[in-house]
Chain A
């Protein structure tokens, strides 16, 4: 049994290691604005985070992670470039799996730097990889930016692209939308009637959504019905892209092949190539580093570029021992007009100790 004292001692060691790498130690409050988190994640965050409330401040949440608070702090008064480290408890509701901890210690390292994103990605990954090296974990990497670039490059309407981009992190919804936009899902009889203007409604309109909004949506649906479907060739290319799952050099080869027909991903592929060089320069064994285009799509939705995770090959029941990624868009959303490229990663010292105790 790992004690809390042992976990905190390991957390302090890890944080000291990140300080030695040049990070400034920071503390963030445990109670966070529920409004901010709800704005970012929507109602789904309530299933993951604990909500508190009092009559004066209304709803607040126990921090489900540090990143949002660190970004807010940096955007409000941080100097550039910046490296931060922190350690402390995070809180997650676990209503589906009683074996997962609802309170655990995280140690993190975050980099806010405009100079060379590929180098920053490699810096974070290499530091985390070194910290977990004795555990012989399996690493996986990915890049959310590939899929967003591919969607932006589709030869279809802007509203369709916006809908797909909004659901990048919900693979099932994304697939359903793609099936509809490519004409694979048949149009329902009722929708045909609506498009033809054959739907009458005798009920009065109640509530805040106005007739103008309803009419506008019907117009959007009519415009969409007139737009040609996303071609089968493009859907196949997206499928090929989502199916890439190889060691990094082979993945890059496949991605370059796909980019010949899907040129919109070229600059994202170049970015992955630069990152591979930066990783190699940091001593990471990129020849054997796995890359999966779909990795990170179902987890936290703020990552929008490089993503990575470290897992125990022998303990598939354990969640990732370390995760991280790039979240440029989050700095934009929390920055009130400002933005800065940012990447970070977190470790779970409690799980690390648990694995070591087993070995």
Chain B
């Protein structure tokens, strides 16, 4: 057994994670060919690197197959009910900032708040004989947010990509998605609803509460935690 650290396998999130660790003396590298998801860890003994999709990190931490993992707050809260009981945040990494927001067409000048959305949704259902559709891949978070806000008469439709386009394509009337700058929203003639986002997210290092660890593993976990805090 060794201590397993899970890191997103692709793109800027991976590169920035590698940078963040190297600044703290832990060198993460990919090994093998460009397409092979294998990696190595330098600067500390007893830690092995697992490269995987950011969306799978929460589940792997919760099942205890990873001891540490890097992924966004959004994915943790969407995928793990009662996440606090299964994993704990170690450090926020200071990048990958994104907000989960509700957005509606900018031309809806009468809709600025959840209160307005509820009223518009009720009228929409009466006019079109269907519930107002909100496209998202964050079903749990959005449903909980709307429940707390007291919005009824809506339907969530699943959208795993190009969510901002669903309104113009008339497969949804509103969307809930992650945005960092809001540029894609503006380009699609959408505006953010309300003052506060559903969730503020950033790349975070998490630790599993459930991963089995031998005496030797625990020493490595403590050493790694100390070094990263350093």
A residues sitting closer than 8 Å to B (CB atoms) are 38, 42-44, 46-47, 95-96, 98, 163, 166-167, 170, 172-174, 176-177, 180, 188, 190-191, 194, 199, 201, 203-209, 211, 213-214, 216-218, 220-221
Contacts and interface: CB of A to CB of B under 8 A. Distances in A.
B82 A167 contact: no
A206 B189 CA distance: 7
A220 B119 CA distance: 10
Nearest to B144: A47
Nearest to A199: B109
B189 A166 contact: no
Given A38-B155, A176-B115, A170 B150 contact: yes
B105 A205 contact: yes
A209 B81 contact: no
B188 interface: yes
B56 interface: no
Contacts of A213: 120, 123-124, 127
A191 B120 contact: no
Contacts of B108: 209, 214
A205 to B, nearest CB: 4
Contacts of B172: 207
Given A44-B147, A167-B150, A213-B127, A208 B155 contact: no
Given A96-B82, A217-B110, A203 B189 contact: yes
Nearest to A177: B115
B187 to A, nearest CB: 11
B19 to A, nearest CB: 36
A164 B127 CA distance: 20
Contacts of B144: 47
B154 interface: yes
Contacts of A205: 105, 107, 189
B213 interface: no
A288 to B, nearest CB: 35
Interface string B160-190: 0000000110101100000000000000111
A96 B81 contact: yes
B175 to A, nearest CB: 10
A174 B118 CA distance: 12
A98 to B, nearest CB: 7
A204 B189 contact: yes
Given A43-B143, A203-B106, A207-B168, 5 more contacts: A95-B81, A95-B140, A170-B152, A180-B115, A206-B167
B112 A163 contact: no
A179 to B, nearest CB: 11
Given A201-B107, A206-B189, A213-B127, A166 B122 contact: yes
B153 interface: yes
A207 B173 contact: yes
B107 A203 contact: yes
Given A98-B82, A213-B123, A216-B123, A203 B105 contact: yes
A153 to B, nearest CB: 22
A248 B81 CA distance: 41
6 contacts: A46-B139, A163-B122, A201-B106, A206-B188, A213-B127, A218-B109
A163 B123 contact: no
B122 A206 contact: no
B128 interface: yes
Given A42-B153, A96-B81, A207-B167, A201 B127 contact: no
